[in-house]
Structure 1
Amino acid sequence: MLLTLFAFALALGLLVTFHELGHYWVARWCGVRILRFSVGFGPILARRLDRRGTEWALSAIPLGGYVKMLDDAPEQADPATRAAAFNGKPLAQRAAVVLAGPAANLILAAILYAMLSLWGVHEPVAVLAQPPAASVAAQVGVQAGDTVLAVDGRAVASWNQARWQLLEPLTSGGAVTLTLRAAQGAERSLRLDLPAQALSPDGPDPLRAAGLVLQAPQPRVGAVSPGGAAQQAGLLSGDRILAVGAQAQPSVQGFVQTIQAHAGQPLVLTIERGAAQIRLQVVPAAVTADDGTTQGRIGALIEAYQPQTLVRLGPLDSLWAGVRRTWDTSAFTLRMMGRMVVGAVSWRNVSGPVTIAEVAGQTARVGLEAYLSFLALISISIGILNLLPIPMLDGGHLLFYLLEALRGGRPVSERVRDAGLRIGMSLVFGLMFLALFNDFSRLFR
């Protein structure tokens, strides 16, 4: 629980503070006077005044921060103070200051994704399981052991990349071409015509519904007991089980059940040891289980092995990959929002602070790579959300500036601004209520 709260506070504090730093940097560049920059909200715990007259503060509630600018100069202000007021700046500069916050979040996401690509991330190899007979994948000839090499001509190095590339065509429908490598090594391309599928946290996985499922972890030999059937058969720690008897690509559970059902009976195992495939014969020893039945045992610990690949790029490729991943995620997020508006995607996909905190804790437990990926995704969400043309948000201010530009530089009247802010407040509070409702519905269902 403490880790979840810490991970959530760190994520929100870092991302919101970086958002506000975007406003701060561009405002300074435009000559706007910054009165205060606070890390956190609420009572100020510590403060320092810099040479420009900006107060840097550390506040008690570590859930973000804010930047306070000189919006309007006092009536008796000198010309320099008037020139430093935000509302006295040209329209282009005001728009740049407002746009800088969401842009900072998108830039941060690209940097985090680039760091992960440069550092290298271990991800599952995109080896597919046998699809159900009635699925789209089975009908076009996808087989167990096929490895996904590309989606619509775009190379994928792992299952995570394949899932991401398939998510859009699966949810919107249409044709997609998979480049596959069979277990025997031959490559081929298959065209799948996918119906549009609903995307809902309570619904089925669109990939699974299409028959595209990652191969279950394979059985691998762990510790081998001296004198046991496994040692007598020549099994070594690290051997991967490719087949047991007539059963190819068995799951860990399937392999154990087969061994248990063949007490005293010879079984042929096909194993992978390094780059070689070897066939061995093992005779499971007959033992009496706790329930009184006779079961087979081979005297070896069987582990679950999921083939992994290290996805790592060079500096320039990592930077490009970070930018492209941020762009793709932003575009997908906007498309999903549009589909929510027209009812094509469930509103139950909207998540609030409870779900975000839960995922923050989960990714922090998994490791730094997962947590940084989570930070990048939430940073994109904050950036996109703030760009929506809703008064109260940065996008709402940009909307007013656009209207000002269309009116030849005449600002929108205070009456229109007030009405827009009331509408925007209603929309934001409605969205917050929906997110919290979805959060608690997931907790108590």
Structure 2
Amino acid sequence: MTFLQTVIAFLAALAVLVVVHELGHYWVARWCGVKVLRFSVGMGKIVWSRRFGPDQTEWAISMLPLGGYVKMLDAREQDVSTLPPAELKREFTSQSVWKRIAIVAAGPLANFLLAIAVFAGLYSYGVPEPATRIRAMPESSAAYQAGLRGGELITAVNGETVRAWSDLRWKLTQLALEKAPARLDVQRPNPASPGSTFVDTVTVRLDGLVTEDLEGDFLAKLGLDLARPKPVLGKIMPDGPAMQAGLREGDLIHKVGDITVTDGLAFVELIRASSGKPLQITGVHANGQPFDITVTPESYSKGEQTIGRIKAEVPLAPEMITTSDAPVAAVAKAVTKTWDTSVLTLKMLGKMLIGEVSWKNITGPITIADYAGQTARIGIISYLTFIAFISISLGVMNLLPIPVLDGGLLLYYSLELLTGRALPERVGEIAQRAGVGILMTLMAVAVFNDIVRLMS
């Protein structure tokens, strides 16, 4: 069932992205007066088609689900010598260079507009996300050395307001790529006035991160992690180690042995690491009575790993907030998000070319399908966010100046504007072959990376 959900989620996302991209080409081609012969979702052999509209455009579904195309009346591909003058005027290559640029650029532009629409809808609706409150960190971490201790709420990065954990991660990702320091505004408890807070500013250095850190959870490398609830026990399972030792629902854990427990996650980690080992646990019952109890976590096999458990629930959900914006503000925020994501994608590609970022970051259809399935199972908000990011990636990739992509065609037409004449046909053929070679190489790298991820 999980595999089927993944396939359906992947194909649905791909269909939306391809249709939107090709509709961009189609609509602008029609607006420019160019005749569209076929609109195909998928590549290769046509498995279904129907003709609609005044031009009897063929709307088709083709066998290979990766991609799609819009086929226009084009003298390079069809014999137009017998067509009447009115039809010849609608041939693609006879259009002005500006119209051809508009038609080609419309596909990637449609992908960016889709991302903006999705983000704007989500921002306007309201997205529940973890707040930017952080948990205690190791003394050796960059966050601790900057003056953070845990429990603070980060409110801004380099003067830009952040409200959700995803905002914080995004801002720090951009700074980490530039190895620029992060100036964090943090809200701290005021020791001079219990119950009140004050805002302080600390600077976290990011130049200690290496390329491999950016490929994983680099925030953890800095010592930044989501704050967790206090270590208060929830439901106690019958006949488990916790119940047998006398632990009760509502117990607040203070220490495990000599280790002070800072939050629920720290308590869970200690239990998991202590399979079959007696643990001295001290704390306070819900009625205020202190306790000192010995618990021996039972062994539990999870895959190839053996962990300890005491059969007691420990709430771990972080503090959540729901952020929503007015429609105009949501659209502005969506445009900024789409622009920033596009720029970051280009920066990552540039750093791959000069060797600063690993080519392992290139993903192919297998990984994308996996992410589609995962986000679909999490919920509609995660799935829509996934579609928006993939739509941006598709738009950026299509604008790269590689022959056979939209960006390659835009490069040809830009040169035509500069030189006043079209690119020689022989040069175009050579460039097309080179472009196919580049794309096949990138696809091979992407599929190889996908297989390595699956195996690991």
**Residue correspondences, number:** 422
- Once the two structures are superposed, residues 201-252 of structure 1 have per-residue CA deviations (whole angstroms, 9 ceiling, x without a partner) of 89553222222222345445534799xx99xx9x987x9x696699463234
TM-score, normalised by the number of residues in structure 1? 0.86
- Once the two structures are superposed, residues 83-137 of structure 1 have per-residue CA deviations (whole angstroms, 9 ceiling, x without a partner) of 1001110000000000000011111011111111112111111111223222221
Percentage of pairs with the same residue:
40
Asked if the contact 2:376/2:382 (under 8 Å) is kept, the reply is: yes
Matches within 5 A, 1:336-347: 336-347=348-359
Asked if the contact 1:168/1:332 (under 8 Å) is kept, the reply is: yes
Change (3 A) 1:194 1:43: same
**Residues 1:281 and 2:289 are matched in the alignment:** yes
Which residue number in structure 1 is paired with residue 50 of structure 2?
47
The aligned amino acid for 1:442 is R
Which residue number in structure 2 is paired with residue 88 of structure 1?
94
Q: How much has 1:312 moved relative to structure 2?
A: 1.4
Which residue number in structure 1 is paired with residue 7 of structure 2?
5
The aligned amino acid for 1:314 is A
Q: How much has 1:316 moved relative to structure 2?
A: 1.0
Which residue number in structure 2 is paired with residue 152 of structure 1?
158
- Once the two structures are superposed, residues 240-290 of structure 1 have per-residue CA deviations (whole angstroms, 9 ceiling, x without a partner) of x696699463234527859x8457xx7347x9xxxxxxx933436778987
Q: In 1, distance between residues paired with 2:131 and 2:255?
A: 23
**Residues 1:97 and 2:103 are matched in the alignment:** yes
The aligned amino acid for 2:157 is V
Which residue number in structure 2 is paired with residue 123 of structure 1?
129
The aligned amino acid for 1:251 is G
The aligned amino acid for 2:125 is W
Asked if the contact 2:232/2:264 (under 8 Å) is kept, the reply is: no
Asked if the contact 2:261/2:267 (under 8 Å) is kept, the reply is: no
Asked if the contact 2:155/2:186 (under 8 Å) is kept, the reply is: yes
The aligned amino acid for 1:27 is A
Q: How much has 1:415 moved relative to structure 2?
A: 1.3
Change (3 A) 1:196 1:342: farther
Q: In 2, distance between residues paired with 1:108 and 1:62?
A: 20
Q: In 2, distance between residues paired with 1:51 and 1:352?
A: 39
Which residue number in structure 1 is paired with residue 432 of structure 2?
421
Asked if the contact 1:218/1:306 (under 8 Å) is kept, the reply is: no
Which residue number in structure 1 is paired with residue 267 of structure 2?
254
Task: Specify which of 28, 50, 53 is matched with residue 30 of structure 2.
Answer: 28
Q: In 1, distance between residues paired with 2:10 and 2:213?
A: 21
**Residues 1:398 and 2:415 are matched in the alignment:** no
Asked if the contact 1:172/1:197 (under 8 Å) is kept, the reply is: no
Q: In 1, distance between residues paired with 2:323 and 2:452?
A: 37
Which residue number in structure 2 is paired with residue 294 of structure 1?
none
Q: In 2, distance between residues paired with 1:401 and 1:188?
A: 53
TM-score, normalised by the number of residues in structure 2? 0.84
Matches within 5 A, 1:226-375: 247=260, 249-252=262-265, 254=267, 261=279, 267-268=283-284, 280-283=288-291, 301-375=313-387
Asked if the contact 2:146/2:204 (under 8 Å) is kept, the reply is: yes
Which residue number in structure 2 is paired with residue 274 of structure 1?
none
Change (3 A) 1:171 1:359: same
Aligned CA RMSD, in angstroms, stands at 3.1
The more displaced of 185-194 and 421-430 is 185-194
- Once the two structures are superposed, residues 14-62 of structure 1 have per-residue CA deviations (whole angstroms, 9 ceiling, x without a partner) of 1011100100010010000011112334323241322232122234444
- Once the two structures are superposed, residues 361-384 of structure 1 have per-residue CA deviations (whole angstroms, 9 ceiling, x without a partner) of 111111111111110111011100
Which residue number in structure 2 is paired with residue 276 of structure 1?
none
Q: In 1, distance between residues paired with 2:232 and 2:61?
A: 53
Gaps of 5+ in 2: 191-196, 300-309
Change (3 A) 1:436 1:200: farther
Q: In 1, distance between residues paired with 2:7 and 2:254?
A: 46
Q: In 2, distance between residues paired with 1:416 and 1:354?
A: 35
Task: Specify which of 431, 434, 444 is matched with residue 445 of structure 2.
Answer: 434
Task: Specify which of 215, 219, 237 is matched with residue 227 of structure 2.
Answer: 215
Asked if the contact 1:11/1:375 (under 8 Å) is kept, the reply is: yes
Q: How much has 1:67 moved relative to structure 2?
A: 1.2
- Once the two structures are superposed, residues 333-380 of structure 1 have per-residue CA deviations (whole angstroms, 9 ceiling, x without a partner) of 001111111111111111111111111111111111111111011101
Q: In 2, distance between residues paired with 1:352 and 1:250?
A: 39
Q: In 2, distance between residues paired with 1:243 and 1:125?
A: 25
Q: How much has 1:308 moved relative to structure 2?
A: 0.9
Q: In 2, distance between residues paired with 1:192 and 1:69?
A: 55
Change (3 A) 1:207 1:287: closer
**Residues 1:193 and 2:205 are matched in the alignment:** yes
Which residue number in structure 2 is paired with residue 71 of structure 1?
74
Change (3 A) 1:328 1:218: farther
Which residue number in structure 1 is paired with residue 118 of structure 2?
112
Q: How much has 1:66 moved relative to structure 2?
A: 1.9
Which residue number in structure 2 is paired with residue 275 of structure 1?
none
Change (3 A) 1:287 1:352: closer
The aligned amino acid for 1:324 is T
